[in-house]
């Protein structure tokens, strides 16, 4: 009877879904698998919930990526502002160089005009020199011709011969007068020649100066043109650098914008997937997720189908609706409190009351009720860090979970660390004070004791409903660890909440 009732009440409780090395990257597979009509039980449901959590974590990761990209964009904007000043400096230097280039070009143009003018002067001077050289040559020819003429006509080879050849004083005067005339002519011609030679020398000197000035101007033009070319190259280099800086940072900003847009699009797609999965999970029939609820509603029919008579069925119904206990029964006679509720002396969270007693000490039901769950099989002697908990709480060793009505209220009571082979069977109907196990130190334990936790579940009227619809949650909706402290009844939260056993059994 007790075994059958246990199967009816909690036999359908599903273990938490677990699958190692799951590949969630195959989106098509998971979106097809997580359709409501494809979910055939709690395992499928939990698998899809796990996929939804993966998608959610991916979204959170993308949000982190987006925040990182925003930070990068801000950094680039700051760099652009800084490089904007540098670019403006390059442009200002380019403008100044352009002004210098214009001045140099004007100077070059002016020099070229001077050179052209000077070139004309040089050509005129050269023509003047040629004319003077021709004039001087003509004068020389005249002197030569005159001397030749006098020598022929006077038949004299020299001035001395002429003078010695005079017969009379009159001839001498006539000869001297003739020579005087020639000398005057020659002197005049000589003077003209001298003037012509001096003018020719002056013209040549002027030509030399003009040619020297021409060379200076030509060299200056060449130098200015070289400077002009260098400055133009500097301008081009600075303009190119400014453009490259601007282009590079604009490119980086554009790439970040594109990446951000992609991330946002991915996030939107993820949100759609999450919404789709959530909708599908919401549409899964409760009969698929909690078949035990529906099995429990037909307890009598099941008994009848199994050939059990009406009297047995009535007994089962009466057992599920056990009368409320009047007051609490002390769970471990003779035990002492070795650790209190909410925290160890070290400060770590401790959610129950440790009743320390010798191995084998009897453990009693604190009230009338039914055993919702029983887990056995761990060695009586455990140790700190031992993971043994059977199908119950991890590291809890051998354990029992009692649903009981006390003083008009409904409670669940958890007993942990029992002796091997001592936990009462799952589904057993018990009365207050019945032995439900013995003290051990199984699981994560450093000494013999029974760890007890108490959960307030609401009105005692809910007993039958709760017994037949319990989903197997070993925290009874109150969570674990630090999070469980938020569900303390003393904090004013409603059912379900955790009661402090010391408030019931004392210290």
The tens digit of pLDDT for each residue in 270-288 reads 667 666 766 776 676 655 5
Per-residue pLDDT, 50: 83
End-to-end CA distance of the chain: 38
- d(CA 47, CA 378) in angstroms, rounded, equals 29
Q: What is the pLDDT of residue 404?
A: 92
Listed range (281-290, 304-313, 446-455) with the worst mean pLDDT? 304-313
Say which residues have a Cβ less than 8 Å from residue 361's Cβ, sequence separation at least 6.
Answer: 332, 333, 334, 335, 438, 439, 448
Residue 102 contacts residue 307 (beta carbons within 8 Å): no
Q: Which of 103-112, 194-203, 265-274, 463-472 has the highest mean pLDDT?
A: 463-472
d(CA 50, CA 25): 13
pLDDT for 481 beyond 80:
yes
Q: Does residue 40 surpass a pLDDT of 90?
A: no
Q: Which of 428, 282, 304 lies closest to 368, judged by CA?
A: 428
Average of per-residue pLDDT across 487-506: 94
Tokens 């207050």 locate to 432
Q: Is the pLDDT of residue 132 over 60?
A: yes
Residue 231 has pLDDT above 90, yes or no: no
Report the range of poorest mean pLDDT among 14-23, 87-96, 97-106.
Answer: 14-23
- ∠ CA 230-233-239, nearest 5°, is 145
For residue 415, report the phi and psi dihedrals to the nearest 5 degrees: -120, 125
State the pLDDT at residue 8. Answer: 36
Q: Is the dihedral of CA 172, 178, 179, 181 positive or negative?
A: positive
Instruction: Report residue 358's pLDDT band, with 50, 70 and 90 as the boundaries.
Output: very high
**131 vs 117, 138, 196, 204, 365, CA distance in Å?**
21, 10, 10, 12, 149
Mapped onto helix, strand or coil, the DSSP state of residue 492 is: coil
Name the percent of the chain lying above pLDDT 70: 61
CA-to-CA separations, 504 to 205, 329, 351, 372, in angstroms, rounded: 134, 10, 15, 22
- Count helices and strands in the chain by DSSP H and E runs: 12, 12
The Cα 48–Cα 71 span in angstroms is 34
């Amino acid at each position: 009877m007790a075994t059958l009732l246990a199967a009816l009440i909690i036999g359908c409780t599903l273990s938490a879904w677990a699958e190692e090395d799951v590949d969630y990257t195959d989106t098509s597979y998971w979106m097809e698998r997580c359709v409501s009509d494809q979910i055939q039980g709690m395992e499928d449901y939990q698998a899809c919930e796990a996929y939804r959590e993966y998608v959610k974590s991916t979204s959170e990761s993308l949000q982190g990526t987006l925040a990182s990209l925003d930070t990068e964009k801000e950094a680039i904007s700051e760099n652009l502002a800084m490089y904007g000043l540098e670019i403006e400096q390059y442009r200002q230097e380019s403008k100044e160089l352009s002004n210098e280039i214009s001045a140099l070009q004007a100077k070059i143009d002016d020099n070229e005009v001077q050179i052209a003018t000077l070139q004309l002067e040089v050509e005129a001077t050269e023509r003047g020199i040629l004319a003077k050289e021709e004039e001087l040559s003509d004068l020389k020819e005249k002197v030569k011709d005159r001397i030749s003429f006098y020598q022929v006509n006077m038949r004299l080879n020299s001035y001395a011969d002429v003078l010695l050849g005079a017969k009379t004083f009159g001839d001498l005067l006539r000869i001297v007068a003739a020579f005087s005339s020639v000398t005057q002519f020659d002197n005049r011609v000589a003077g003209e020649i001298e003037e012509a030679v001096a003018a020719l020398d002056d013209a040549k000197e002027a030509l030399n100066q003009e040619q020297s000035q021409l060379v200076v101007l030509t060299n200056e033009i060449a130098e200015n043109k070289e400077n002009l070319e260098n400055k133009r190259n500097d301008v081009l280099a600075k303009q190119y650098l400014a453009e490259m800086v601007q282009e590079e940072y604009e490119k980086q900003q554009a790439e970040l914008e594109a990446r951000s847009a992609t991330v946002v699009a991915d996030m939107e797609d993820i949100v759609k997937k999450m919404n789709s999965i959530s909708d599908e999970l919401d549409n899964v029939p409760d009969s698929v997720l909690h078949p035990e609820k529906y099995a429990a509603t037909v307890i009598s029919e099941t008994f009848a189908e199994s050939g059990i008579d009406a009297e047995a069925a009535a007994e089962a119904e009466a057992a599920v609706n056990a009368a409320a206990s009047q007051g609490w029964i002390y769970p471990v006679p003779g035990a002492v409190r070795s650790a209190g509720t909410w925290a160890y002396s070290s400060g770590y969270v401790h959610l129950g009351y440790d009743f320390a007693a010798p191995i084998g000490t009897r453990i009693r039901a604190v009230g009338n009720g039914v055993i919702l769950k029983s887990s056995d099989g761990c060695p009586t002697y455990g140790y700190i860090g031992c993971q043994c908990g059977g199908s119950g709480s991890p590291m809890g060793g051998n354990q029992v979970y009692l649903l009981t009505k006390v003083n008009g209220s409904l409670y669940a009571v958890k007993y942990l660390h029992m002796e091997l082979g001592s936990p009462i069977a799952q589904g057993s109907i018990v009365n207050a004070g019945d032995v439900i196990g013995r003290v051990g130190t199984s699981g994560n334990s450093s000494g013999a004791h029974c760890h007890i936790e108490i959960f307030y579940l609401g009105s005692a009227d809910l007993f039958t409903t709760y017994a037949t619809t319990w989903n197997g949650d070993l925290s009874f909706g109150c969570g674990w660890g630090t999070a469980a402290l938020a569900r303390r009844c003393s904090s004013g939260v409603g059912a379900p909440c955790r009661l402090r056993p010391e408030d019931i059994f004392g210290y």
